[in-house]
Amino acid sequence: MATFRHICDSVAVITLSNPPVNALSSALIQALQKALGEAIRDSAVEAIVICGDKGKFCAGADIREFNKPSQKRGPHLLLLTDLIESNKKPVVAAIEGVALGGGLELALGCHYRVAHVQARVGLPEVLLGILPAASGTQRLPRLIGIAAALTLITTGKYVPAREALKLGIVDKVVGENTVDEAIRLAKKVIGQPLGSRQLSTLPVQCPPNVEALLAEAMVKVKKQFRGAQSPQACIEAVRAAVHLPYTEGIKKEQELYQFLNATHEPRAQQYAFFAEREVAKWTLPSGASWKTVSPQPIHTAAVIGLGTMGRGIVTSLAKAKIPVVALEQDKRQLDIGSKAVMSLLDREILKMEQLGHTEATNSLGPVRFTLDYDELKDVDIVIEAVFENMALKKDIFRRLSVVCKPEAFLCTNTSGLNIDEIASVTNRPQMVIGTHFFSPAHIMKLLEVVRGCYTSSTTISTAMRLAKMLGKIGVLVGNCPSFVGNRLMRLYVEQAVFLVEEGSKPEEIDLALEDFGLAMGPFRMMDLAGLDIGWKARTEIGLTGPKLPIGTPARQRGSKRYSPLPDILCEQGRFGQKSGQGWYKYEKSGGRNAMPDPWLYNFLSEYRCIHNLKTRNITQEEVIERCLYILINQGFKVLEEGIASDPKDIDVIYNNGYGWPKHTGGPMYYASLVGLPVVLTKLEKYYEDNPDILDLKPSNFLKKLVASGTPPLKEWRSHLGSQSSKL
C-alpha cells in the first residue's frame, strides 16, 4: 500500500501503491499515515519524498469508496495534508503520471513538488459533483492566486507539467528520474526554514477586483454547467479562502462538501464516470467479449469523403499517429478537403505547442490525399464518410471489396442507414461495421459502434480498440434505423416542434431544456446542424416532397402525428445558421447569434389558423416532461429490442454525444432519479392527451419494471430477456 524505505540514510521514500492508479483508498491513506509516522519518528530520517508506484503519483480519492459510510472511511486525507505540512522535516512530492484530486491535495500539503514532464495535475472533483475537500480550495489559491485557482477548480481541467510549472503549482519539471531529482531536492533543503513552503500559512494574494472576479466566475459556471451545483459550491469555497483565515476556510470547504454530498449530483456524476469505463467491457450473448476476443492491429487507415465528418475523422486518426490515406471524388473536392484537413492539423499542432510539446509536428500521423482507390489496397481499416445515400454507399463498398486486402475492415460513418444492407454488397460482410462519429469528429468523445447481423466479434473488438486508440469512448449498439443516439433524438426534436404547434415559442422550449442542463436546446441545435439535412432525408423517404402521395393530410403520416413546420421553413430557404435564418434569425449567413424572429411569430399564427390549432399556455414542466420522457421511453424500447444491452450505454451516448448534463447521470439514470412510476404515469397522461403521438405510449419494458417493483438501474438488465439482444 504505502511502503517506506531509506535512501542514503537521510531521505525516506514513501511509495503509494494501489493499482491501477494509486487511488487513495481508506487502506492506502491509513498505510500512508503509518509510513509518515515512522519516517517522522525515525531520527535517522531528515527529509521525506512521496512518490507513486508504476509511474503514477496518485489519481485522488478512490471513487469506488464514495458510497461507503464516512465513519468507515478511515483517516481523512485533510488531516494527513496538515500533518505533512506541519512536519519539520521537508517533504517533497515526486509527481509522475498524474496528481489529481486528493492526489494533488496531498502534493500541495508537501513542501516541494517535482514533476515529470509528461505528468498532469488537476482538481477534477467538480466533474464528480463534489469539490476538493482536503484543503484544495484553500491551499491552491494561496499558491497560484485566485484567478488561476478558480479556473482549475471550477473546470476540473488537467494541467500538463510545463503549464503547472508556469502557474507555480510545481517547483521543477524533469525529463527523467523524477524520484531521484526529488531526493536530490529533499537533501538540498534539509535544515532550511519551511515557513514559506507551508501553503496554509500564506496569505491569499487578492487582486483589487477580486469580488468582480468571483462574480464573473459565477456567471460563467451558471451558463456552462446549467443546473449543476458543484461548480457554484467550488466558487463559494474559493470565496472563503479570500475572506477567511485558513482554518475557517477549511470549515466552509467541509460544509459545502457536506451540502453537495446530500444532493443527487455526486452519485449521478460518479455513475457517469464508471459507466464511461464500463462500456468498453462489451459482451455478446454468444459469450464473446472484450476479454476473450483480440482486436486486429491497426497500423494504417483510409477515409473516404472529406466533408464535415471525413475531415474530422482524418484529423482524429492523425492525432492518434495512425497514417491515413484520404480519398475524395474529384480534384475540386480533394483540394477543398485537403485544405480543411491541413488547417485542422495546424490547429492541433498549435494546441500541442501551447501545452509545451517541443516536437508537435512529429506527433501527428502522416496524411496522404488521393483520388486513386489503388492507394487503399494495403490499409488495415477504411472509414467511409460520403453523403448519406444508400446507393452511393453500396457503390463504394463494392469497390472497396475489390481494392482492399482481404484482412481490411470496412467501416461506415452513416448516421442511420442499414449496416446489413451495406455489408451485403461486400465480399466480407463479417468485417463491416458502423463507426458513427459525432461532429466535430476530432473533438467529440463518442463513437457509436454499430454491429450488423454479419459483423464478427473480431471486427467489434477492433472497432472498440480503434475508439480507445482515438481517445474516444466506444459504445457498442445494434443495427436499427438511426441506431441509438439519433433514434432517441429524433423523437425529442419532433416533440419540441409539436409543442411549437401547440403554442410554445422555440426560444421558450430551448430555454427550458437548457435550464435543465442540456448544452443546447433543440431549435438552436437544428439551426446549427442545418434544417436542410433532415429535410433531404425526409424528402428521400417520401415523408415530404414529390414522393409524398397526393391527398396525404398535412399533419399526419400513417396513423402518426407529423409536423410539416420544418419542411415549410426549408421550402422558404430557412436552413438555420448557414442561411442566416431558421427557427431564429442570425446577424448574417453563417452567423451564430440566435435572435427570436418576429417573422416566425407571424408565420406560426397563420400556420395555426390554417390548421385550426388552438394555442394554449405550455409550462416549462410540460416542455421538459414531454421532450425528455418521450426520449427516455424510446430508451426503454431500445433496451427491450436489444439494440442497447444496458441503460448505461444509452447514458454514455447521451452524456458524450448529445450534451446531456452529466450531473443527472444521463437520460436513463435521470428516469431512475425521477422514479419510474412517475415517468410511466406522465407518459400515460400525455399519450391519453395526444393519442396520435404513438411514441408517447409507454414501452412494455418500462411497464414491466414498474410492475416488478421498480428495481434499481443496475438490475434493469436482468429483467430483459437475453433472446431479444441484437448484439
Contact (Cβ atoms closer than 8 angstroms) between residue 250 and residue 646: no
Q: Helices (H), strands (E): how many in the chain? A: 28, 19
Nearer to ligand NAI, 9 or 372 (CB): 372
Nearer to ligand NAI, 111 or 436 (CB): 436
Q: Is 688 a catalytic residue?
A: no
* 606, 688 contact by CB (below 8 A): no
Q: Please, what is the minimum distance in Å from the beta carbon of residue 23 to ligand CAA? A: 4
Please give the Cα distance from 585 to 574 (Å, whole number).
9
Residues 138-167 contacting ligand CAA, CB under 6 A: none
Nearest to ligand CAA of 69, 546 (CB atom):
69
Q: Counting contacts by CB under 6 A, is residue 304 touching ligand NAI?
A: yes
Region binding ligand NAI by CB under 6 A among candidate stretches 112-120, 162-170, 305-313, 671-679: 305-313
Residue from 31, 306, 318, 496 touching ligand NAI (CB under 6 A): that is: 306
Per CB under 6 A, 370 contacts ligand NAI:
no
Binder among 14, 36, 128, 676 for ligand CAA (CB under 6 A): 128
Which ranges of 407-505 does DSSP label H, i.e. alpha helix?
419-423, 457-469, 485-502
Q: Which stretch binds ligand NAI (CB under 6 A): 166-174, 327-335, 352-360, 539-547?
A: 327-335
Regarding 328 and contact with ligand NAI (CB under 6 A), the answer is yes
Alpha helices in 321-473 (DSSP H): 331-354, 390-403, 419-423, 457-469
Site size for ligand NAI, by CB under 6 A? 24
Order the strands of the 409-412 sheet from edge to edge: 367-370, 324-327, 301-304, 381-384, 409-412, 432-437, 446-451, 473-478
**For residues 449 and 464, is the Cβ–Cβ distance under 8 A?**
yes
Q: Is 359 a catalytic residue?
A: no
Which residues lie below 8 Å from residue 603, measured CB to CB, with a gap of 6+?
A: none
**What CA–CA distances, in Å, run from 452 to 181, 366, 430, 477, 643?**
54, 31, 8, 9, 11
Partners of residue 58 on adjacent β-strands:
99
Angle between helices 102-109 and 77-86 (to 10 degrees): 20
Q: Of these, 30, 333, 458, 620, which contacts ligand NAI (CB under 6 A)?
A: 333
Task: Decide which of ligand NAI, ligand CAA, none touches 439; Cβ closer than 5 to 8 Å per partner kind.
Answer: ligand NAI
Catalytic position from the list 125, 253, 265, 508: 125
Q: Which is nearer to ligand NAI, 1 or 528 (CB)?
A: 528
Among residues 2, 23, 410, 680, which is the contact residue for ligand CAA, using CB under 6 A?
A: 23
How far apart, in whole angstroms, are the C-alpha atoms of residue 122 and residue 132?
10
Task: Give the Cα separation of 381 and 375 in Å (integer).
Answer: 13
Residue 62 binding: pick among ligand NAI, ligand CAA, none (C-beta 5-8 Å cut-off by kind): ligand CAA
Query: Contact 248/444 with Cβ under 8 angstroms?
Result: no
Tell me the window of 159-167, 436-444, 670-678, 681-689 that interacts with ligand NAI (CB under 6 A): 436-444
For residue 618, the partner it binds in ligand NAI, ligand CAA, none, with Cβ less than 5 to 8 A by kind, is none
Kindly indicate which of the ranges 72-80, 387-395, 552-560, 684-692 contains the residues binding ligand NAI, using the contact rule CB under 6 A: 387-395
What does the DSSP 8-state code read for residue 262? T
Residue 380 DSSP class? S
Helices (H), 228-369: 230-243, 246-261, 265-278, 308-319, 331-354
Applying CB under 6 A, does 124 fall inside the site for ligand CAA? yes
Give the residue ranges of DSSP H helices in 6-123: 26-41, 77-86, 102-109
- When asked if residue 439 is in the footprint of ligand NAI (CB under 6 A), the reply is yes
The DSSP secondary-structure symbol of 385 reads -
Choose one: 385-393, 513-521, 574-582, 631-639; the region binding ligand NAI (CB under 6 A): 385-393
Query: Least distance from C-beta 61 to ligand CAA, angstroms?
Result: 3
If the CB atoms of residues 535 and 687 are measured against ligand NAI, the closer one turns out to be 535
Q: Considering beta carbons, is residue 268 or 565 the nearer one to ligand CAA?
A: 268
Rg (CA), the chain: 28
Based on the shown chain and the rule CB under 6 A, indicate whether residue 134 belongs to the binding site for ligand CAA: yes
Closest-by-Cβ residue to ligand NAI is 307
- Active-site pick, 46, 85, 96, 105: 105
Q: At a CB cut-off of 8 Å and minimum separation 6, what does 621 contact?
A: none
> What residues between 336 and 365 interact with ligand NAI by CB under 6 A?
337
H helix or E strand, kind and range, residue 140: helix 136-144
Grid coordinates belonging to 726: 441484437
Stretch near ligand CAA under the rule CB under 6 A, chosen from 2-10, 128-136, 206-214, 696-704 = 128-136
Among the listed ranges 53-61, 432-440, 669-677, 719-727, the one in contact with ligand CAA (CB under 6 A) is: 53-61
Please give the residues from 56 up to 115 whose contact with ligand CAA meets the rule CB under 6 A: 59-64, 77, 98, 100-102
Pick from 404, 398, 388: which is nearest to 424 by CA?
398
Work out whether 388 is an interface residue with ligand NAI (CB under 6 A): yes
- Per CB under 6 A, which of residues 100..129 are in contact with ligand NAI? none
Q: Does residue 206 contact residue 242 with C-beta atoms inside 8 Å?
A: yes
Binding site for ligand CAA (CB under 6 A): 20-21, 23, 59-64, 77, 98, 100-102, 124-125, 128, 133-134, 277
Catalytic sites, residue numbers: 105, 125
Binding site for ligand NAI (CB under 6 A): 304-310, 327-329, 333, 337, 385-388, 392, 396, 413-415, 436-437, 439
